[in-house]
Amino acid sequence: MRNTRPHVRPPEPGTTWEDEDFARVDWDWTELDRVTFLRCRFDDASLLELVTRRCVFERCVLTGAALSGSRHEGTAFLSCRFDRAKLFDVVWSACKLTGSQFPGATLRPMTSTECDWSYASLRGADLAGVNLSGQKLVEADLTDTDLREADLSGATLRHARLQSTLLRGADLRGADTEGVNWRGFDPTGVRLDLVQAVLFARAHGALVAD
């Protein structure tokens, strides 16, 4: 079958693109450096092994985009939508994914280092066994997310939504859990530090002596 993907020339470093439609574009193995995309669409784009460095994607739509094996260094994905995107084997390094949504996306395995996932919606995502230690998840929506055996030690989980989140075997030690609803999930098998254990006990009505 003939390849019908448009071969749009990749943007030059330092350029800004607004309200552009890059649907079905073929940028496999492309490198993007300091490019800004505002309100652009990448529906069903082929972005395999894509490398981005210090780029900005703001309010972009990546529905069905194939990003497997891509690497992102210091790139910001702000309030983007990754509906049904293929993101396995993606490497995020010092990235901002604040306010982005990932409904139906394939997210694991992935590598995430020193990233900010605050206000992101990861509702129902499969993140079992993923290392998110030390990362920011302030007010992230983790409702129904599978985080079994995940490493969340030292993460910032302030006011994160953990309703019905699967956490058996997860490590929460040292995480900032201020504002977390300890009654919203089953903590069986979760590794907690002493402070978190006290918060959990109090949330369930226990009288903890000082």
Q: How confident is the model at residue 44 (pLDDT cuts 50, 70, 90)?
A: very high
Taking residues 85-95, report their average pLDDT: 97
pLDDT, tens digit (0-9, with 9 covering 90-100), for 4-40: 555 678 899 999 999 999 999 999 999 999 999 999 9
Q: What is residue 196's predicted lDDT score, i.e. its pLDDT?
A: 79
Q: Is 210's pLDDT higher than 70?
A: no
Please name each of the domains of the chain with its CATH number. Answer: 1-112 (2.160.20.80), 117-210 (2.160.20.80)
Q: Is 92's pLDDT higher than 80?
A: yes
Q: What is residue 52's predicted lDDT score, i.e. its pLDDT?
A: 98
Q: Which of 90-99, 125-134, 184-193 has the lowest mean pLDDT?
A: 184-193
The mean predicted confidence, pLDDT, of the chain is 92
Taking residues 72-82, report their average pLDDT: 98
Q: Is 106's pLDDT higher than 60?
A: yes
Q: Is 62's pLDDT higher than 70?
A: yes
Q: What is residue 1's predicted lDDT score, i.e. its pLDDT?
A: 33
Q: Is 206's pLDDT higher than 50?
A: no
Taking residues 107-134, report their average pLDDT: 97
Cis bond leading into 109, ω under 30°? yes
Q: Tell me, what amino acid is at 35?
A: V
Taking residues 171-182, report their average pLDDT: 93
SS (H, E, C) the chain: CCCCCCCCCCCCCCCEEECCECCCCECCCCEEECCEEECCECCCCECCCCEEECCEEECCECCCCECCCCEEECCEEECCECCCCECCCEEEECCECCCCECCCCECCCEEEECCECCCCECCCCECCCCECCCCECCCCECCCCECCCCECCCCECCCCECCCCECCCCECCCCECCCCCCCCCCCCCCECCHHHHHHHHHHCCCCCCC
Q: How confident is the model at residue 184 (pLDDT cuts 50, 70, 90)?
A: confident
